[in-house]
Amino acid sequence: MRITDSDPEFTRYTAAFVDETLSQAWIGTHDRFVVQLGATVAIGAQSAFLDLLGTALDDPDAAVSPVEAKEIVHQAVAYVGSARTSDFLAITDEALVARGVELPLPDQSTSTPEDRLERGRAVQEAIVGAERLRAMYDSATTDTLHFQRFLTGNCFGDTVGRAGLDLTTRELLTFAMLIALGGADGQVKGHVAGNLAVGNTRQDLLDVLTVLVPLIGYPRTLNGLAAVDEGAPAA
């Protein structure tokens, strides 16, 4: 039995609240689905992800392509891990095959094992800045330096630097996933700054928080709001 039948009251008031949040956000339909899909991956909400994915793929106003749908999940690997995201890749593949999409899709990688550190450094510098990147490496001890190389080569070279979604959209997506994940306050602050660096605005970040409230609840949303107020204060 679907929850719409078993608990119509819940369905009614949650739908009304979703409508209310949408009336207070200016984010485009496409980007809204991108960040909401990313957030549902981060919190492990498979049913909500599947429902959103179906609408995102089928609604012409959303216009989320098969490549973009896959890239949302690929992006999540760096932030929530492969153990969680593998289930969402399987869900996405099933949804695409059901719609007649032939898999596998074209590769979106822009790096190779030989140049992933170089590629990752370019992407990382665009987000955190060259000075901050140097400081991250300089502050690492000998026995922790490999984590910085992992971040540069794997997170930014293998993952964030992929094609299929542009960097400004990827940064909004990263912000959404980190907010939804919880317990990543330092990374949220860093990606508030990263969003500003790639051209997103305070309003863009507020819009992401606004459309995530019904999905992730108030504590994580308000933590995100505090980070935005600190890193991108109102004029």
Per-residue pLDDT tens over the stretch 114-139: 999 999 999 999 999 999 999 999 99
Q: Is 77 helix (H, G, I), strand (E, B) or coil?
A: helix
Q: Is the dihedral of CA 44, 170, 180, 12 positive or negative?
A: negative
Give percent of the chain with pLDDT exceeding 70: 100
Domain ranges of the chain: 3-108+165-231, 111-161
Query: 22-34: string of b/e by CB count within 10 Å (b at 16+)?
Result: eeebebebbbbbb
Rounded average pLDDT over 92-112: 97
pLDDT digits (tens, 9 = 90+) for 145-178: 999 999 999 999 999 999 999 999 999 999 999 9
Query: What are the backbone dihedrals phi and psi of residue 112, each rounded to the nearest 5 degrees, phi first?
Result: -125, 165
Contacts of 57 (CB under 8 A, 6+ apart): 64, 66, 69, 95, 96, 99
Neighbours of 212 (CB within 10 A): 26
pLDDT digits (tens, 9 = 90+) for 56-80: 999 998 899 999 999 999 999 999 9
The model's confidence at residue 2, banded by pLDDT at 50, 70 and 90, is confident
Please give the CATH architecture assigned to the domain spanning 3-108+165-231: Up-down Bundle (1.20)
- pLDDT of 110 > 80? The answer is yes
Rounded average pLDDT over 101-120: 97
The answer to whether residues 196 and 231 touch, using CB atoms and an 8 Å cutoff, is yes
Average pLDDT score, the chain = 96
User: What global pTM score does this model have?
Assistant: 0.96
Q: What is the DSSP letter of 158?
A: I
100, with CB counted inside 10 A (0-12, 13-18, 19+), is exposed
pLDDT digits (tens, 9 = 90+) for 191-234: 999 999 999 999 999 999 999 999 999 999 999 999 999 999 99
The answer to whether residues 151 and 60 touch, using CB atoms and an 8 Å cutoff, is no
C-alpha Rg value of the chain to the nearest Å: 18
Q: Which helix (H) or strand (E) holds 95?
A: helix 82-98
Give residue 235's pLDDT: 86
The answer to whether residues 42 and 180 touch, using CB atoms and an 8 Å cutoff, is yes
